[in-house]
Each structure stands twice: as C-alpha cells, then as structure tokens.
Amino acid sequence: MLTEHQNCKDGLPHIKTDKTIVMACSHPYWSSLQVGSQHIARQFARHGWQVHYFSAPISPLHLPKLFAPEVISRFKGSCRNPTLHENGKIHSYIPFSLLAPDGRPLLRSRPVIHNWYKTMLPPLKQLLARSNVGRVDLLYIDNLSYHFLLDVIHYAKSVFRVMDMHERFPGWRGEARRLAKKNATRSDLTIYSAQGLKAYVEALAPPKSLFVPNGVDFEAFEATKTRLSRPACLSCVPDPILLYTGMIDARLDFDAIRTVAHRLPQISFVFAGPPDQSRIPLDLPPNVYFTGPVCHAELPSLMQAAVAGLIPFDVNSRLDAIRGIRPLKLFEYMAAGLPVISARWPEIEDIQSPAWFYDDTGQFVELAYKAVKKEFDPEIARSFAEQFDWKYAFERLVLNLDCG
C-alpha cells in the first residue's frame, strides 16, 4: 500500500511504502563482489521497499574452507539472520543448510537440487517470521537454487533475472535449463542483463521478458573527482597502475597479461578481487600484483590511483563463457573517469562506449602507453557512464512490472 508520493528527478516518485520484496541471489549482500542484484536491492530500499535479501546457503560442505575470510563471515552471518543494512531497509540472510547444491556428483543430483531447502536450519518460514514477513509483494530470483520459492512463498508478482547462460555453471549441466525454464515460465517478468542473452531467454518461453542492462552507482564512483587517500593495498605498488577489478578466474587471458606485463616492466598491473588460485599461473612477472578481495566502497580510491581500467578477458578460448557478459566494471571505470582497455567481443562493442579495444598483445601494449600518457578526456567517460546509473535500470524494471 502506497502511503506518500513525492516528485523526484529520476522519473519515479520517492515512495514511502509498506511493500516487501524477497530477493533470492548468489552473493552475500555485503560481499566484496557487488553484482547487479545487490545494486538493485539498494534501489528498492531507496524507494521505500523493505528488502529481504537471501544469498546462497552455507553448509557443512564449506568446513574445509573455514579459514577463508569470506567463509568465516558467511558462517557468522548465518548465526545472526537477519543482518540489517541501509538503515534497516535491507535484511540480509545467509541460510544454514545441511545440504546444498554443488558441482560434486552426489550434490548435483536432482533430489538434492530440488529438496535441499528442506534441510535449512532454521526453516525458511521461521527465518521470514522473525522479520514479520507474510505475503510478499514481489519475489525476485536470480539464483537457480531458489527455484522452490515459487512454490512455498505467497507473492503478488515475481521476476526472474538472467545474468548468464546457466548450463555453463559447474554442477548444473542437465538440470539448469529445466530450472531456468520453470523460473521463466512461472514469473511475471524475466529480465536479462546483456543483449547476448536475449536468444537464450526467449528459448525459455517466458510470458514477458525485458532487457534491463547492468549499470553503475554513478555518484559513488564520481567521487574520484575529489582527492581520495591511496588504499593500503597499493602502498608497495609503484605507479603507473593498470587496474582490473572483479573475480580473478578462468575468464582472464593470462597469456596476454603475461606477455604485456613482460613488455612493460615499468607499469604495474594490479588485479583486485577474489582469486581462484588454481587459475593463476605461477610464472607471471613481478609487476603483476594481486590485492585479494577489496571492499566495494574502496574501489573508487583504487581507481583514482590507476591510469586505466582493464577487461582482459580470454575471448579466443572462452568466448562462450563471455558472450553474455555486459561487465559492470566497464561502467565503474568510466564513472571514475578512467579509459578502459578491453578485449573485444560483440556485447561490449554493442554498448558503443568510448572504451579502447585490442585484438592482440601488440595493440594492448600500444593502448597501455596511450593511457600512461593520459591521452583521454575523463569527462567523456563520466558522461557516458552517467546514462547507465542503476536508478534507470530500477525504473525500467518497476514500470514494466507495474508494482511501483
């Protein structure tokens, strides 16, 4: 029930409301990896909604990694569900479950995938009851593991968000499309974050679909126009810096990174984000640095210290895994006024940004020199990024659901 409307410059009213959304997502709300759903959650909260944000469960399967900082934080979070954020407007939950879907043989079986939630402690309904959640105005799912919510929660409307082609996730082969089709056909609206996902989404036969692109918290990254303190993780890293932010995994072209870093020993190549250690070569040159996970709020200060942002994806060997990606980091780099040096694939070209694309390591080197010489107008980048503020994605979503 809407209780107050006021005009606002983003096209939607600022609303005081008692509306409730349950979001079923992958990453913890507070994770250093801030993907689209966390940003969308904040938009709902800023527009007056009560947000109940569920991330992937923690389970005894995670005990072997108990000393990893994020795993420790997830276990702690599961003990105090919910955790409050954004002045109490967002309740985040990390369910504890005896079983959880996983890439290993037994844990990717249909019985586990379809029934794991029955081993949640405390049960889902008890978690929601703690926060006085009854009937939900909007159910939002982007994590296939939470398909069961369509059957166990009372909701007015639902949305399914697609950020990738699900069959590519380890452990979901054979079951992913069935679950995605269930979510799509049962939801009022299926949204997708990249144009490269359109054909996949249409094949799921949703009653209604909509392209809602990834965006940027423009105001947060525009803060680089003022002087920010240099992050401690860069204290021993010499300038100039080329920066990559995000998950460090098999999508990165480490052969190209190795070659370019060898040819440019005077430039520091900094990779900030959670690393998949099994994917990082041991023979990288000494001017390649890994900071580990960095708090999202610290990214603007990292970017201020850099001369360019990198998106060095392996488009030659991993194009199928990259085709549907519209990277948030592109917009974040540009909101910070950085030139972007990127591998070339159709989705990122279709954005028609002022990014610099390379097709081989020779061009990569040339663009690195160009960045160091500061042959770039930061205001062009900022003006481009501002068009993709998350508030516009939120407006598009809400208006098409007619639930604002």
**DSSP secondary structure of 323-357:** TT---HHHHHHHHTT--EEEE--HHHHHTT-S-EE
Asked whether the predicted pLDDT for residue 281 surpasses 50, the reply is yes
Average pLDDT, stretch 393-404?
88
CA distance 211 to 295: 29
Q: Which one is predicted more confidently, 111 or 217? A: 217
- Sign of CA pseudo-dihedral 391, 395, 397, 401: positive
Res 135: pLDDT: 87
In angstroms, how far is CA 61 from the centroid of its own chain?
24
Asked whether the predicted pLDDT for residue 173 surpasses 80, the reply is no
CA distance 127 to 120: 10
| Sole residue written with tokens 């954004």 | 86
Angle at the Cα of 33 (from 341 to 398), degrees rounded to 5? 95
Asked whether the predicted pLDDT for residue 174 surpasses 90, the reply is no
| Band (130; pLDDT cuts 50, 70, 90) | confident
Res 100: pLDDT: 84
Res 394: pLDDT: 96
% pLDDT > 70, the chain: 92
Query: β-strands 340-343, 20-24: how paired?
Result: unpaired
Asked whether the predicted pLDDT for residue 111 surpasses 90, the reply is no
**DSSP secondary structure of 74-121:** HHHHHHTPPEEETTTTEEEE--BBS----SSTGGGSHHHHHHGGGGBS
Decide if 244 contacts 263 (C-beta within 8 A): no
Mean pLDDT taken over the chain? 90
CA distance 333 to 328: 9
Average pLDDT, stretch 162-179?
77
| Sole residue written with tokens 């525009």 | 222
Res 285: pLDDT: 97
| Band (4; pLDDT cuts 50, 70, 90) | very low
| Band (171; pLDDT cuts 50, 70, 90) | low
CA distance 202 to 94: 32
Res 97: pLDDT: 93
CA distance 16 to 6: 9
If one counts every other C-beta atom within 10 angstroms of the C-beta of residue 222, the result is 17
% pLDDT > 90, the chain: 73
| Band (104; pLDDT cuts 50, 70, 90) | low
| Burial class of 275 by CB neighbour count within 10 A (0 to 12, 13 to 18, 19+) | middle
Res 169: pLDDT: 64
pTM (whole model) above 0.85: yes
- Taking only the tens place, the pLDDT of each residue in 57-88 is 998 877 767 667 788 888 888 988 999 999 99
Res 172: pLDDT: 58
Decide if 74 contacts 29 (C-beta within 8 A): no
Res 379: pLDDT: 96
Torsion angle of alpha carbons 195, 324, 244, 224, nearest 10°?
A: 20
Domains and CATH numbers, the chain: 2-215+389-401 (3.40.50.2000), 218-386 (3.40.50.2000)
